């Protein structure tokens, strides 16, 4: 049985070489592997297995690792575990089909803040989306903080985690999904588009917005007109504004 702990940010971790190795060998969902730079011996086997599963590996100096994970029995190895199972892209399309609806998908582009991601998932479920797609790297996973902010939405909404968002977008477009994103340099205000179609909405990260590669792949780029002195909205708030308009159109 794996040893679980919860840090000050409310994220779930597995500590110790045997515990982490067991988790990687099983079907347990692991978001990230943390390794102390001084870890040797069996740590190599764990790193190799994590790399094979395409799990992000973060190496930290011994002092920083010990500060982040003060547990005495960590043995220089810690894994951040998901609190809910990830779905497959097919699960999103199946849910839409079961409701006799055209797919409505949210793509979270490197949303690193767990509260923002949780709020986006919660809002997506409230407005009738069929799933959320997130990236493995430079993004929050399904941690306890995300689950708390999602307010129970993880029980109803599939969340898919992919290595490459651009490839996921290609797959969606092949299946007839139109890709929208909201960005400051969008051609039209978000409320002037027609969302009565199978669609995915790309939500940009807190710092740099939608990545250049994803924006290039989008079929439509919209903006949210700002009338105050602050130039942009929080990522989850911006997503909620556009999702409400999409729900109204559909």
Residue whose token pair is 């409310």? 10
Q: Report helix, strand or coil for 178.
A: strand
**Contact between residue 250 and residue 128 where contact means Cβ atoms under 8 Å apart:** yes
Domains and CATH numbers, the chain: 4-81 (3.30.1330.30), 89-249 (3.40.1280.10)
Q: What angle do CA 180, 84, 17 make, to 5 degrees?
A: 120
The alpha helices in 99-150, defined as continuous H runs, are 114-126, 144-150
User: What is the pLDDT at residue 5?
Assistant: 41
pLDDT in tens, 193-233: 999 999 999 998 877 788 999 999 999 999 998 888 777 78
In tens, the pLDDT along 112-171 reads: 899 999 999 999 999 999 999 999 888 888 888 888 899 889 989 999 999 899 999 999
Which is more confident, 40 or 7? 40
When pLDDT is cut at 50, 70 and 90, the band that residue 12 belongs to is confident
pLDDT tens figures, 44-88? 899 999 999 889 999 999 899 988 888 767 888 999 888 888 999
pLDDT of the residue at 3: 41
Give the contacts of 149 (CB within 8 A, at least 6 positions apart).
114, 115, 116, 117, 118, 119, 121, 122
What's the average model confidence in pLDDT over 107-112? 92
90 or 68: which carries more pLDDT confidence? 90
Residue 173: the pLDDT is 97
pLDDT grade for 1, boundaries at 50, 70 and 90: very low
Tell me what pLDDT residue 178 has. Answer: 98
Tell me the longest C-alpha to C-alpha distance in the chain: 60
Q: What is the pLDDT of residue 167?
A: 96
CA distance 206 to 208: 6
Ramachandran category for residue 23: left, alpha or beta (phi over 0 → left; psi -120 to 50 → alpha): alpha
More confident residue, 134 or 27: 134
> Residue 51's closest CA among 159, 165, 163, 164?
163
């Amino acid at each position: 049985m794996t040893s679980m702990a919860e840090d000050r940010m409310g994220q779930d971790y597995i500590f110790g070489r045997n515990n982490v190795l067991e988790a990687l060998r099983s079907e347990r969902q692991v978001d990230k592997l943390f390794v102390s730079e001084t870890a040797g011996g069996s740590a190599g086997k764990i790193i190799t297995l994590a790399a094979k599963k395409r799990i992000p590996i973060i190496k930290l100096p011994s002092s920083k690792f010990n500060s982040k994970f003060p547990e005495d029995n960590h043995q220089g190895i810690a894994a951040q575990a998901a609190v809910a199972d990830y779905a497959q892209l097919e699960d999103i399309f199946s849910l839409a089909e079961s409701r006799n609806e055209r797919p409505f998908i949210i793509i979270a582009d490197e949303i690193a803040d767990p509260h923002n991601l949780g709020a986006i998932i919660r809002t997506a479920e409230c407005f009738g989306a069929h799933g959320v797609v997130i990236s493995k790297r430079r993004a929050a996973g399904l941690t306890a903080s995300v689950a708390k902010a999602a307010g129970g939405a993880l029980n109803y909404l599939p969340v898919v985690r992919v290595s490459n968002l651009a490839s996921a977008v290609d797959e969606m477009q092949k299946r007839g999904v139109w890709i929208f994103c909201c960005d400051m340099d969008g051609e039209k205000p978000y409320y002037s588009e027609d969302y009565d179609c199978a669609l995915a909405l790309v939500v940009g990260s807190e710092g740099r917005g939608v990545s250049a590669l994803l924006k290039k792949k989008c079929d439509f780029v919209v903006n949210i007109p700002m009338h105050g002195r602050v130039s942009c909205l929080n990522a989850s708030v911006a997503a909620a504004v556009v999702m409400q308009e999409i729900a109204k159109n559909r």
